[in-house]
Structure 1
Amino acid sequence: MLLRHLISTPSSRFIMATSKDKTVIVVGSGLAGLTAASTLVSHGICVHLLERAAKPGGNSMKASSGINGAPTKYQPGPPFSDTFFHADTIRSAGSVFQTMKKERESLISTLTNQSAEAIEWLVEENGIDLSVVAQLGGHSFPRTHRGAGKTPPGASMVSTLLTSLKSSPLFHLDTSCTVTKVLKPSSVVSGVEYICTGEKTPKKALGPVISATGGFGGDANGMLAQYRPDLAGFPSTNDPRPGSQPLLTVVGAQLLDMEQIQIHPTSFIDPANPLNPVKFLAAELLRGEGGVLLFQGKRFVDEMQTRKVVTDAITRLPAQTAEGGPRQWDVQLVLDEGVYENASSHIDFYLWKGLMRKSTIADLGTAAFSTLRDYAAAAAGHASDSFNRESFGHWKLHAVKEDSVVYVSTVTPAVHFTMGGVLISEKGEVVDESGKPIRGLWAAGEVTGGVHGENRLGGSSLLECVVFGRVVGEQAAKFVKGEEE
Structure 2
Amino acid sequence: MQGRRNFLKLGAGAAIGSIAATLPATVQAKTRSEINWTETVDTLVVGSGFAGLSAALNAKRQGLGSVLVLEKMQVIGGNSAINGGWLAIPNNPTQLAQGVNDDSPEELVKDQIISGRGMQNEAALRQIANRALDAYALCIDTGVQFKKDFNIQVGGHNKARAIRTQHGTGGDITTKLYEAGVKEGVDYRLQHYIEDFIMDGQQIIGVKVRKNYRFPDLTTGSSIFIKANKAVILANGGFARNMALRAVVDPSLDPTLDCTNALGATGEVTLTAMAHGALPVHMNLIQTGHWGSPDEGGFGWSNALLSIGWHQGASISVLNGKRFMDERADRKTCSEAIMKNRNQDGTPAYPIVLFNYNNYANDHRVTRAIRDKMAWKLDSLDDVAAKFDIPVNELKSSITEYNTHVEAGQDPLFNRKMDTAEVLTGPFVVSRIWPKVHYCMGGLKTDLAARVVDGRSMEPIKNLYAIGEVTGGIHGEARLSSTSCLECLAMGIVVAETIKADLQGAV
Instruction: Judge same fold: TM > 0.5, yes or no.
Output: yes
Count of aligned pairs: 440
The amino acid across from 2:69 in the alignment is L
Aligned equivalents of 2:145 and 2:366: distance in 1?
22
Mark the CA change 1:216 to 1:286 in structure 2 (over 3 Å): closer, same or farther: farther
Match of 1:10 in 2: none
| Identity value in percent | 25
Corresponding residue to 1:292 among 309, 314, 329: 314
Match of 1:347 in 2: 366
Aligned equivalents of 1:475 and 1:216: distance in 2?
26
Corresponding residue to 1:368 among 395, 409, 433: 395
Match of 2:123 in 1: 106
| Alignment pair present for 1:59 and 2:79 | yes
Match of 1:37 in 2: 56
Aligned equivalents of 1:70 and 1:181: distance in 2?
40
Question: 1:376-414 CA deviation, whole Å, 9 max, x = no partner?
Answer: 343344654532111453x54x3x44xx22211111112
Is contact 2:78–2:262 with CA below 8 Å preserved after alignment? Answer: no
| 1:484 shift after superposition | 6.2
Is contact 2:311–2:327 with CA below 8 Å preserved after alignment? Answer: no
Mark the CA change 1:78 to 1:215 in structure 2 (over 3 Å): closer, same or farther: closer
Any unmatched runs of 5+ in structure 2? 1-39, 215-219, 386-391
Within a 5 Å distance, the mapping from 1:126-205 to structure 2 comes to 126-129=143-146, 131-147=149-165, 149=166, 151-168=167-184, 170-195=185-210, 196-197=212-213, 200-205=221-226
Mark the CA change 1:192 to 1:142 in structure 2 (over 3 Å): closer, same or farther: same
| 1:339 shift after superposition | 6.8
| 1:331 shift after superposition | 1.2
| 1:356 shift after superposition | 1.6
Aligned equivalents of 1:33 and 1:373: distance in 2?
50
Aligned equivalents of 1:338 and 1:77: distance in 2?
27
| 1:128 shift after superposition | 3.1
SS at match of 1:474: helix
Mark the CA change 1:120 to 1:335 in structure 2 (over 3 Å): closer, same or farther: farther
Question: 1:269-314 CA deviation, whole Å, 9 max, x = no partner?
Answer: 12xx7xx6x5636216244542421112321000111111111112
Is contact 1:428–1:442 with CA below 8 Å preserved after alignment? Answer: yes
Question: Comparing 298-307 with 177-186, which one deviates more in the overlay?
Answer: 177-186
Mark the CA change 1:230 to 1:43 in structure 2 (over 3 Å): closer, same or farther: same
Corresponding residue to 1:463 among 486, 496, 505: 486
SS at match of 2:178: helix
Is contact 1:420–1:448 with CA below 8 Å preserved after alignment? Answer: yes
Aligned equivalents of 2:182 and 2:282: distance in 1?
36
Is contact 2:286–2:439 with CA below 8 Å preserved after alignment? Answer: yes
| 1:348 shift after superposition | 2.9
SS at match of 2:93: coil
Match of 1:6 in 2: none
| 1:361 shift after superposition | 3.1
| Alignment pair present for 1:206 and 2:227 | yes
Corresponding residue to 1:446 among 449, 455, 469: 469
| Alignment pair present for 1:215 and 2:238 | yes
Is contact 1:234–1:414 with CA below 8 Å preserved after alignment? Answer: yes
Any unmatched runs of 5+ in structure 1? 1-20, 98-103
SS at match of 1:350: helix
Match of 1:379 in 2: 406
- RMSD value over aligned CA atoms? 2.7
Aligned equivalents of 2:484 and 2:437: distance in 1?
15
Aligned equivalents of 2:291 and 2:313: distance in 1?
11
| Alignment pair present for 1:331 and 2:351 | yes
| Alignment pair present for 1:94 and 2:113 | no
Match of 1:428 in 2: 450
Mark the CA change 1:79 to 1:153 in structure 2 (over 3 Å): closer, same or farther: farther
Aligned equivalents of 1:181 and 1:340: distance in 2?
51
Is contact 2:103–2:159 with CA below 8 Å preserved after alignment? Answer: no
The amino acid across from 1:317 in the alignment is N
Match of 1:316 in 2: 340
SS at match of 1:440: strand
The amino acid across from 2:337 in the alignment is A
| Alignment pair present for 1:121 and 2:146 | no
Mark the CA change 1:121 to 1:478 in structure 2 (over 3 Å): closer, same or farther: same
Question: 1:142-168 CA deviation, whole Å, 9 max, x = no partner?
Answer: 111114x3x114121111111222233
Match of 2:416 in 1: 389
| 1:320 shift after superposition | 8.2
SS at match of 2:91: coil
Question: Comparing 33-42 with 290-299, which one deviates more in the overlay?
Answer: 290-299
Question: 1:68-88 CA deviation, whole Å, 9 max, x = no partner?
Answer: 121333224342534421111
Is contact 1:63–1:153 with CA below 8 Å preserved after alignment? Answer: yes
Match of 1:9 in 2: none
| 1:129 shift after superposition | 2.3
SS at match of 2:480: coil
Question: Comparing 194-203 with 460-469, which one deviates more in the overlay?
Answer: 194-203
SS at match of 1:456: coil
Aligned equivalents of 2:345 and 2:118: distance in 1?
31
